[in-house]
Structure 1
Amino acid sequence: MGALAALTLAGCGGSNESVIDPNVLVDANFDTLAGWIPDAMSGTLARGKAHSGNYALKVDGTHEYSLGYTAPLGNLSGTRIKKIKVSAWTFLPAAGASATLVVTVGNPATPAEKPLMWEGISLGKLAAPGKWVEVSKVITLPENILPTYTLGLYLWREGSASQPIYLDDLRVTIEP
């Protein structure tokens, strides 16, 4: 994730539901990030191209990585998380655009080491050009994770794709 800026997205935007679901770990529509992000990453927050609201994450020929999310698992849930479901809406303006929604779990005490878990949802293979499509994946977390280990999420442009790819309404829930 190197130069990837990590911002907390939990609670940013989301639904207007008055009941809080304890199984929802992350619920972000990216509308409340405007003005809070570093200038270097502002190009990955696209205005006017969103599934809901006004903003969505974007990667393109200039931005290989989007804004990222990172939080200790123990801050997201009081119990050990065995499985999560990651879902989001994605938009590919044209065929050939390709990006991966990346989900990681890592030990913050050893940030230079490879994450304990790295899973990707390849959006180019699941989305239809020219329309918003919901994508999701259920991920089993490693058994040896600790509450201090961090959950990370970000959008990564695959290869040398120059077409923009948009992501909105990102949600992570605990699966039974």
Structure 2
Amino acid sequence: MSKRLLTSLSIALAVAGGALVSCSHNDGAEGTIVTRNDFENVQGWGGSNDASITTEQAHSGKYSLKVGPQNEYGYTYVQTLGQMSTARVKKLTVSGWAWLPDKGATAQIVVSIAHSADKGSPVFYGSFTLPDEVKKYKSWQQISHTFTLPDSVQATNQLKCYLWRTSTNVTAYVDDFTLSVSN
């Protein structure tokens, strides 16, 4: 009987400990985390040949995402909203760390939602410029931005989130990227 009680207590403590660990650190994320990427895991997932994955700068680990003269767009996260949440997504928060060499780096993080993968007509488009979030250059700065989505978004809509160089050729880096949703 005491061995059974000890086993039950051990399981309960393990579950409670796991719940505490999962709730204790959100890196600026708001809501339910959908994806977190430090760009170490992109290697082998089709990203290893992507010029936007680099070892030039990294907030954590060895890799980060970059845009610059050789690449206008960074590695893109693509998912249908219904696979991100069972409830209607009302808000989407993008957070992570950015490194900019100077104010000339006008890169943006873009959130684009289309009707579907087949029907690319837009339902929502939003972006934020990294220099608006980064106040100190040549060091990693935490960034976070929440988008309020229109009532017209549906579970079948396809979301794309990516780093875009915009009009300048100045290199910008992002690492430890998190995308979360609120219902």
Question: TM-score when scaled to structure 2?
Answer: 0.77
Determine which structure has the larger helix proportion and give its number: 2
Equivalent position of 1:54 in the other structure: 62
TM-superposed CA distance for 1:162, in Å, is: 2.0
Q: Choose the corresponding residue for 2:144, options 114, 128, 136.
A: 136
The structure that has the greater radius of gyration is 2
What is residue 76 of structure 1 aligned with on the other side?
A: 84
Q: Name structure 1 gaps, 5 residues minimum.
A: 1-16
Q: Counterparts of 2:131 and 2:155 in 1: how far apart (Å)?
A: 33
The aligned residue for residue 13 of structure 1 is none
Larger strand proportion, structure 1 or 2?
Answer: 1
How much is the aligned-residue C-alpha RMSD, in angstroms?
2.1
Structure 2 residue 175 is the aligned partner of structure 1 residue 175 = no
TM-score (norm 1): 0.80
- Does residue 43 of structure 2 align to residue 34 of structure 1? yes
Equivalent-residue separation in structure 2 for 1:53 and 1:18 (angstroms): 24
Q: Quote how far apart the aligned CAs of 1:38 are.
A: 5.7
Q: Deviations 1:10-68 (Å, cap 9, x if unpaired)?
A: xxxxxxx95556811121111111233367x5210011511111111100011100110
Structure 1 residue 125 corresponds to structure 2 residue 132: yes
Once residues 60 and 81 of structure 2 are traced to their aligned partners in structure 1, the CA distance between those partners, rounded to angstroms, is 27
Does the alignment pair 1:89 with 2:103? no
**CA 1:158–1:50: 2 relative to 1, 3 Å:** same
For residues 44 and 181 of structure 2, what CA distance do their matches in structure 1 show?
30
Contact 2:85 2:181 (C-alpha < 8 Å) held by counterparts: no
Aligned partners of 2:147 and 2:91: how far apart in 1? 6
Residue 133 of structure 1 aligns to which amino acid in structure 2? Answer: Q
Decide which moves more: 74-83 or 27-36: 27-36
What amino acid maps onto 2:174 in structure 1?
Answer: L
Deviations 1:114-172 (A, max 9, x none): x211111100232121111111111111111111111210000020x222100111112
Look up the equivalent residue of 1:36 and give its one-letter code.
W
